[in-house]
Amino acid sequence: MTPSGRRLRSAAWFEGEGLRAFSHNARMRQLGLNAQEHLGKPVIAILNTWSGINPCHMHLRERAQQVERGVWQAGGYPVEFPVSTLSETYQKPTPMLYRNMLSMEVEEILRSYPVDGAVLMGGCDKTTPALLMGAASAGLPAIFVPAGPMLRGNWRGQRLASGTDMWRFWDEKRAGTITDADWAEIQSGLARSPGTCMTMGTASTMTAAAEALGLTLPGASSIPAVDSAHHRMAAAAGLRVVEMVGEGLAIGDVLSREAYEDAVRTVLALGGSTNSCIHLIAMAGRSGIPLSLTDFDRLSREVPVLASVQPAGEHLMEDFHYAGGLRGLLSRLRDTLHLDRTTVTGRTFGEDLDGAEVHDPSVIRPLDDPISPEGGLAVLRGNLAPDGAVIKYVAADPALCKHTGPAVVFHGYEDLRARIDSPSLEVAEDSVIVLAGGGPKGGPGMPEYGMLPIPDKLLRRGVRDMVRVSDARMSGTSYGACVLHVAPEAHVGGPLALVRDGDLVTLDVEARVLRVELPDEELDRRRAAWVPPAPTFERGYGALYYEHITQANEGCDFEFLARPGTTPDPNAR
Quick check: 163 pLDDT over 90?
no
pLDDT of residue 571: 77
Q: Strand 377-382 to strand 385-392: parallel, antiparallel, or no bridges (unpaired)? A: antiparallel
- Identify which of 11, 569, 36 has the alpha carbon closest to the alpha carbon of residue 1: 11
pLDDT of residue 312: 87
| Low-confidence winner among 170-179, 356-365, 386-395, 414-423 (lowest mean pLDDT) | 170-179
Q: How far apart are CA 115 and CA 409, in angstroms?
A: 52
Q: Residue 202's Cα: distance from chain center in Å? A: 5
Predicted TM-score (pTM) of this structure:
0.95
State the average pLDDT for the chain. 95
pLDDT of residue 470: 97
pLDDT in tens, 365-401: 999 999 999 988 999 999 999 999 999 998 899 999 9
Residues above pLDDT 90, as percent of the chain: 90
pLDDT of residue 573: 47
Burial 117-130 (b: 16+ CB within 10 A, else e): bbbbbbbbbbbbbb
pLDDT of residue 43: 97
Fold category of 377-529 in CATH = Glucose Oxidase; domain 1 (3.50.30)
pLDDT of residue 568: 82
Break the chain into its structural domains and give their ranges.
41-151+193-353, 153-189, 377-529
For residues 401-407, average pLDDT: 97
Who has greater pLDDT, 103 or 35?
A: 103
Is residue 510 within 8 Å of residue 380, measured between CB atoms?
no
Quick check: 304 pLDDT over 90?
yes
- Identify which of 446, 456, 451, 457 has the alpha carbon closest to the alpha carbon of residue 433: 451
pLDDT in tens, 189-204: 999 999 999 999 999 9
Q: 288: number of CA atoms within 13 Å, CB side?
A: 11
Quick check: 564 pLDDT over 90?
no
